[in-house]
Amino acid sequence: MYKAILFDLDGTLTESGEGITKCVQYALEKLGKPEEDLKKLEVFIGPPLKEQFMKYAGLDEETAVKAVKYYRERYSNVGIFENKPYPGVENMLQELRRKKYILAVASSKPEYYVKQILDHFHLTEYFDEIVGSQMDGTRTNKIEVIEEALERLGMKKHRERVIMVGDKEHDVLGARESGLECVAVSYGYGTKEELKEADPLQTVASADELLDFFA
């Protein structure tokens, strides 16, 4: 029986693609590597930014750090709010709280931004802990984020009672590496192929289906 649920943020609780892709586009433009097709930039939703800039644009680490700085120039004022909760998310969180689940957010996004987003959409009250990466680029790996969440919740010795919910393969694989099961949501930014290969415990198509899973 699960007692605690860790939620990813981007692509799981909120539809954040517009803000993220436009900020990546802004950063690449400033680096002289323009990309017109925002759809191609959806690969940046979820993974740690610096590593994704290196992988996507072939940047060395120093230039990737600069890219993250450019990204945040736009994100901190504009991109962060080009975002909205998915349909049914708030109702799902209300019901899970009513059922006495412990809820936490475990995101690779900087914790500072995660808290701002949840405050903006009035979702903060539903969570016992909100965990993200550090602004200095540490704790970006999903496993590190999950381990920090388990530590703060006092659940490191009760992993069998904790489950992750996410939309990308790194949510599923990070959870597995930490000894947790993971439910994937198909409405986010992960492809069917990557989720099938990652092999989550179950895949659901909406916040309502997710609620049914925990019923």
Distance (Å, whole) CA 113 – CA 49 = 14
User: Is the distance from CB of 213 to CB of 202 less than 8 angstroms?
Assistant: yes
Residue 8 among the catalytic residues? yes
Beta bridge partners of 6: 104, 164
The catalytic residue among 8, 10, 167, 171 is 8
In 10 A of CB 171, how many CB atoms? 33
Q: Which residues of 22-46 are buried (b: 16+ CB within 10 A; e: fewer)?
A: bbbbbbbebbeeeeeeeeebbbbbb
Report, as residue numbers or ranges, the catalytic residues. 8
